[in-house]
Amino acid sequence: MTGLTTHILDTANGCPAAAVKLALYACPAAGARTLVKQATTNADGRTDAPLLDAVGMQAGVWELEFHIADYFRQANTPLDEPPFLDVITLRFGIADTTAHYHVPLLVSPWSYSTYRGS
């Protein structure tokens, strides 16, 4: 499957992170970015459709922005004000436009990790 997908797991509460607002940006030049898509995760912590399909896959630099503090507030997780993590931005590259890029986010109010999944 060609395209871009994501999956968010709440490691503090041991569940998928539902109702997380996210945005995908294309970053064609240093300092520039263009909003490509906005989405909200479903009950499984995924978006209902790929963020990019085979037609939308373009080589280059991209950013995914995850509104994590809002998610933890809705989950009644105690947060400092301002929260340690508010909006997490992941900048990554797409080199192979015929491949599937999966960008999972494992997150708590105090830490996160990511990797290129399958």
Task: Assign residue 38 the CATH number of its domain.
Answer: 2.60.40.180
Domain count, the chain: 1
Domain that holds residue 75: 3-114
Instruction: Give the pTM.
Output: 0.95
Q: Which residues pair with 42 in a beta bridge?
A: none
Give per-residue pLDDT as tens, 41-87.
999 999 999 999 999 999 999 999 999 999 999 999 999 999 999 99
Q: Please, which residues have CB within 8 angstroms of residue 58's CB and are 6 or more apart in sequence?
A: 26, 52, 94, 97
